[in-house]
Amino acid sequence: MYGAHSKTSFVCLPCRASYKQPYGDLDSRPGRRCPRCARQLIHVGSAFAPPRRRDTAAWRTLSVLLNAGVRFHKSCCGGPGYRPRTLGEVRERMAYARGTGEPFARLLVRRDLY
């Protein structure tokens, strides 16, 4: 059987649900589906910690991150690094990206803007 170290997280944004599943061959198993709604799950990485289901603001923030291509994979030093936790932090980074022309996805994972 698989240990916790050989699993990765997938989320369903409409259901606000997270599921740990075996790594396996992620590319050869397309279409992992949510057991609640049957929509396709999004692979978010093994360092993902889901917000509580009723925390709608955190799930909206997560949705922005995932739609920008940000994921939660472990780095050589442990966790995934900085990720915005509030919509205010996301808005601040969006404004900075508009003003500087720097890619939004890059600003989402950078701890300091200035």
Dist CA 114 CA 75 (whole Å):
23
Please report, to the nearest 10 degrees, the dihedral formed by the alpha carbons of residues 65, 66, 70, 74 taken in order: 110
Residue 1's pLDDT band, with cuts at 50, 70 and 90, is very low
Q: What is the rounded distance in angstroms from the CA atom of residue 58 to the CA atom of residue 99? A: 25
Rounded CA-CA distance 53/18 in Å is 9
Report CA torsion sign: 81, 45, 58, 68.
positive
61-89 pLDDT tens trace? 999 999 999 999 876 665 677 888 899 99
CA distance 55 to 77: 29
Record the pTM.
0.81
Tens of pLDDT, residue by residue over 25-60, are 665 566 789 999 999 999 999 889 999 999 999 999
